[in-house]
Amino acid sequence: MNIKLTIPERLKDLRTERGLTLEQLSEATGISRAALGKYEADDFKDISPFSIAALAKFYGVSADYLMGLTERKNHPNTELDALHLGDDAIEVLKAGQFNHRLLSELICHKDFQRLMLDAEIYVDRIADMRINDMNTVLKAVRQMVLSKREDSANDLYLRTLELAQVPEEEYFSHVVADDLNEILRDIREAHKTDSTTADEPSAAAQVQQQLQTAMNFEGSSDEKKARALLATLSIDYDVITKEQFVNLIEVLRLSKHMKSPISQRGKSNITHGKGKRKRK
C-alpha cells in the first residue's frame, strides 16, 4: 500500500469521496475543469495558490493536507492532551519508523473499537473468572464420570469434556487475533489495486500454465527445458522463429544443467511451431 498520498491522489480521493465529477467540482469552486484535471493527473507539476485555497475551503481540509505537508485533514492544531496519549506513545509517533497511513486506517476501521475491547478484557483479566468457572465445572463432571467407569480411555463423552476446557490465554489469543485479521483483510482488500501492491495471482497462474504446457511438449529433454525457460520469462514460444529457438538451444548447451546436449547433426530435427503435446 502507498505510505503517503501524492497531491493528485489526495485531490482525486476527496472528489470521489463526495461522488463529484470534474464538471460538478468546477461549477462549485470556479476552477476550470481543465485545471482540475491537470491537478489530478500523474504528470502533475504545479497548482495555483487560488486553487489551493478554493479547494481547501470547499473540501473543509487544511491547505497543508492538500499539499502533502501533513496527513491530518481537519485538525492541524489539535492539542496533545486531546489525543490522550502518554509520553512514550508520543515519542513513538514522533519517531515515525512505521507506516503512518496504515496505523490511521487500523484506528479508523469500524471494528477497531471491538479489537481494543477484546484486548482490554484479556489484559485486565476481566473474563478470567467466568472461563475458570466453566473449566472447573467441566473438570468436575469428567472426574465424576471417571470414578464410575472402569474402561474410559477412548470414551467420546469424556474426551469431549476434556477438550471443552480452554485456558483463558489460549481463548483470548484467538479472539484478539481474529479481530485483527478481519481488520487487516479489509485494509488489504481496499489497497488491492494500489501501484505498490503485488501482481494479481492470475499472473503466477498464467506462468504455471505455460510451464505445464512446456512439460507436456513432445520433444527432447533439452527442448522442454528451453520452452520452460521461455515460459518463466513470459515469452510466447509460438512467436519466435525456428532459427531463434535453435540458437537458444545452443546457448543452453553451455549450461551444466543441460545434461543431454543436442548433437550438431540433430539440429534439423528440432520441432518448432505449435508442435505436439502430450495428452493430459
Q: Is residue 144 part of a domain?
A: yes
Q: Return the higher-pLDDT residue of 140 and 50.
A: 50
Three-class DSSP labels, the chain = CCCCCCHHHHHHHHHHHCCCCHHHHHHHHCCCHHHHHHHCCCCCCCCCHHHHHHHHHHHCCCHHHHCCCCCCCCCCCCCHHHHCCCHHHHHHHHHCCCCHHHHHHHHHCCCHHHHHHHHHHHHCCCCHHHHHHHHHHHHHHHHHHHHHCCCCCCCHHHHHHHHCCCCHHHHHHHHHHHHHHHHHHHHHHHCCCCCCCCCCHHHHHHHHHHHHHHHCECCCHHHHHHHHHHHHCCCCHHHCCHHHHHHHHHHHCCCCCCCCCCCHHHHHHCCCCCCCECCC
Please state the separation of Cα 119 from the chain's center in Å: 24
**Quick one: pLDDT at residue 111?**
94
Mean pLDDT lowest among 2-11, 105-114, 183-192, 212-221: 212-221
Q: What is Dmax (Cα atoms) for the chain?
A: 89
pLDDT the model gives residue 201: 52
Domain termination site, one of 136, 159, 190 = 190
Total domains, the chain = 3
Give the sign of the dihedral formed by CA 240, CA 244, CA 248, CA 250: positive
The predicted structure's pLDDT at residue 264: 42
- Does one domain contain both 24 and 50? yes
Looking at the domain assignment, is residue 18 inside a domain?
yes
User: Last residue of some domain: 169, 190, 211?
Assistant: 190
Q: What is the mean pLDDT of residues 47-72?
A: 87
Domain assignment of residue 274, yes or no: no
So what's the pLDDT on residue 274?
A: 47
Higher-confidence residue of 187 and 133: namely: 187
Q: Are residues 207 and 183 in the same domain?
A: no
Q: Residue 69 is part of which domain span?
A: 7-77
pLDDT in tens, 94-128: 887 888 888 888 998 999 999 999 888 888 877 77
Q: Could you give the percent of the chain with pLDDT greater than 70? A: 77
Please report whether residue 252 resides in a domain: yes
Torsion angle of alpha carbons 89, 90, 93, 94, nearest 10°?
A: -150
Residue 37 placed within a domain: yes
116: in domain: no
In a domain, 254, yes or no: yes
232 & 175 share domain: no
CATH of the domain at 38: 1.10.260.40
How confident is the model at residue 275, as a pLDDT? 47
Residue 107 lies inside a defined structural domain of this protein: no
The per-residue pLDDT of the chain, averaged, comes to 77
Domain end (from 147, 165, 190): 190
Pair (11, 73) in one structural domain: yes
pTM of the model: 0.46
User: Interhelix angle for 221-232 vs 201-215, to 10°?
Assistant: 170
Residues 142 and 168 in one domain: yes
